[in-house]
Amino acid sequence: MTVLERLDAPGGRAYVNRQHGFTFDSGPTMVTAPFLLKELWDIGGRKLEDDVQLLPISPFYRIRFDDGESFDACGDPETMRARVARLSAGDVTGYERFMGASEAIFRIGFERLGHVPFDSWTDMVRIVPDMIKLASHRTVYDLVATYVKDPRLRIALSLHPLLIGGNPFTTTSIYCLIAFLERRWGVHFVMGGIGRLVQGLVRLIHDQGGLVHCGEEVSAITVTGRTATGARLACGHELHADIVVSNVDSAWTYRYLLPREVRRRWTDQRIERACYSMSLFVWYFGTNRRYPDVAHHTMVLGPRYRELLADIFERKVLAGDFSLYLHRPTATDASLAPEGCDAFYVLSPVPHLGSGLDWSRIAEAYRRAVAQRLQETVLPDLDAHVVTSSVMTPQDFQDRLRSFRGAAFGLAPVLSQSAWFRPHNRSEDVERLYLVGAGTHPGAGLPGVLSSARVLDTVVPHARALA
């Protein structure tokens, strides 16, 4: 097995930036469903804990509402009931019922359907009764709103799709399963940063006799007739392969790596018409002081919820208000910054490049506005303490990670783009081509991507059978 990666180091969204003594995880920070990682390591013949130390985080995250009130999410049902009661005493029973519904959705949506290949229509037809039972035609927000009334609680229980690029007002309610997933298995941090997980994965590949080549861009997947035969690299070399697995964003794979004439299903038109997740503006910064009152994960919400999301997902305009996610890994692991300092990243959901925004012109002004918001809310005097800074914009998601329209999470997790309707793990258009990762079934986020790898394992024929 040969893995070809265009960047100078492995990781993709989980790439690690090192600047002025600070270590910044560029993407994923919350590890949920750790059992999937354990399973992967078991399959690879190693012990997860020999490579990676996962530390449970409490609170899972702090939500700071615009009125200054905070809500800490954690895994203890009793503590959660008390916190819900503090926000809205009348919603405790509804909250309990919602958690019951979340578990029921998890049992079907994750345990039963998360690992089905959805290769054929019959796979889809078979799950229709389950989809009806789970009311998956409803959106996450709608389902939450049937259980609780308090507007802040509705936000707290419905914002999970944003973690995988979806709008809670359009994302299928199947994603309500995340609430139970978090409660049951917790939210974890990889000590030393997500790079440790990436290094562990590379070790697993090496142990299987595989190779990882960084700095190698695939410019095309070569095809003879309708069968994949290998990859052409940007340097001009060609590699022959019995099978090709593309982990590149699925829309990008079809649109730019495969010739138009072999694509019957994933035509240019279908790719253009599809609905893409939001993008992100991410600011990585280090401070020469610590902010000990700031939790490891904090959502700093703005005055608007539904309307802000409509700006991002539907109107595709850049709003003047923000809902931010602030990561402070040094709350858990001081080794990620020089002594007495804090490492941070803050991300702001923004429209994908369908907005027409020119980020090379607006990035610095937007960064300053985000900094101002943080300074007014949770990081007083921030301006005076920033000692290192860099940003990632939607343009970088497109140019660096090759994500169609710079969408940070690939195709949006709406019902019409889920399961059979998502690009299949066994390509519908090209023989011996397989897809894996956020743009395939079941979708984005580390648990989704690991599940897609599990599905892949059931559809890829053993390499020897192809020889």
Ligand X SMILES: Cc1cc2nc3c(=O)[nH]c(=O)nc-3n(C[C@H](O)[C@H](O)[C@H](O)COP(=O)(O)OP(=O)(O)OC[C@H]3O[C@@H](n4cnc5c(N)ncnc54)[C@H](O)[C@@H]3O)c2cc1C
Taking CB under 6 A as the criterion, which residues in 326-385 touch ligand X? Answer: 347
- Rounded to the nearest angstrom, the gap between the alpha carbon of residue 134 and the centroid of all alpha carbons in its chain is 23
Neighbours of 87 (CB within 10 A): 19
Q: Collect all residues with Cβ–Cβ distance below 8 Å to 440 and sequence separation of at least 6.
A: 250, 422, 423, 424, 425, 452, 455
Supply the minimum distance, in Å, between the C-beta of residue 381 and ligand X. Answer: 26
Stretch that binds ligand X, among 11-19, 145-153, 196-204, 458-466 (CB under 6 A): 11-19
The binder of ligand X chosen from 241, 401, 412, 455 (CB under 6 A): 401
Find the shortest distance in angstroms from Cβ 391 to ligand X: 12
Minimum CB separation from ligand X for residue 54, in Å? 13
Is residue 456 a contact point for ligand X (CB under 6 A)?
Answer: no
From the number of C-beta atoms within 10 Å of its C-beta (0-12, 13-18, 19+), residue 122 rates as exposed
Q: Which is nearer to ligand X, 2 or 335 (CB)?
A: 2
Please identify the residue of the shown chain whose CB is closest to the bound ligand X: 12
Tell me whether residue 87 or residue 350 sits nearer to ligand X (CB atom): 350
Q: State the sign of the Cα–Cα–Cα–Cα dihedral 388, 199, 433, 413.
A: negative
Of 13 and 316, nearer to ligand X (C-beta) is 13
Position of tokens 């959502």?
299
Q: List binders of ligand X among 201-230 (CB under 6 A).
A: 217-218
Smallest distance, ligand X to C-beta of residue 176, A = 16
| Contacts for 44-48: CB closer than 8 Å, 24+ residues apart | 44/204, 44/207, 44/208, 45/207, 46/200, 46/203, 46/204, 46/207, 48/200
For the CB of residue 168, give the shortest distance to ligand X in the complex, in Å: 16
Judged by CB, which is closer to ligand X: 235, or 467? 235
**Does 449 contact ligand X by CB under 6 A?**
yes
Size of the site for ligand X (CB under 6 A): 28
Tally of helices (H runs) and strands (E runs) in the chain: 16, 18
- State in angstroms the smallest separation of the CB of 307 from ligand X: 23
Nearer to ligand X, 158 or 253 (CB): 253
Instruction: Give the nearest distance from C-beta 31 to ligand X in angstroms.
Output: 7
Residue 7 makes contact with ligand X by CB under 6 A: yes
Kindly provide the b/e burial profile for residues 215-245, where b requires at least 16 CB atoms within 10 angstroms of the residue's own CB.
ebebeebbbeeeebbbbbbeeeeebebebbb
> Six-digit token pair at 422?
């998502």
Name the minimum Å distance from CB 278 to ligand X.
10
- Among residues 367, 403, 379, 219, the alpha carbon closest in space to that of 288 is found at 379
Site map (CB under 6 A) of ligand X, residues 405-444, x = contact: ---xx---------------------------xx-----x
Site string for ligand X, 13-52 (x = CB under 6 A): xx------------xxxx----------------------
Residue closest to 316 by CA, chosen among 422, 168, 439, 167? 167
Q: Which two tokens stand for residue 108?
A: 């079907």
Would you say 202 and 133 are in contact if contact means Cβ atoms under 8 Å apart?
Answer: no
* Site residues for ligand X per CB under 6 A: 4-7, 12-14, 27-30, 217-218, 247-248, 280, 282, 347, 401-402, 408-409, 437-438, 444-446, 449
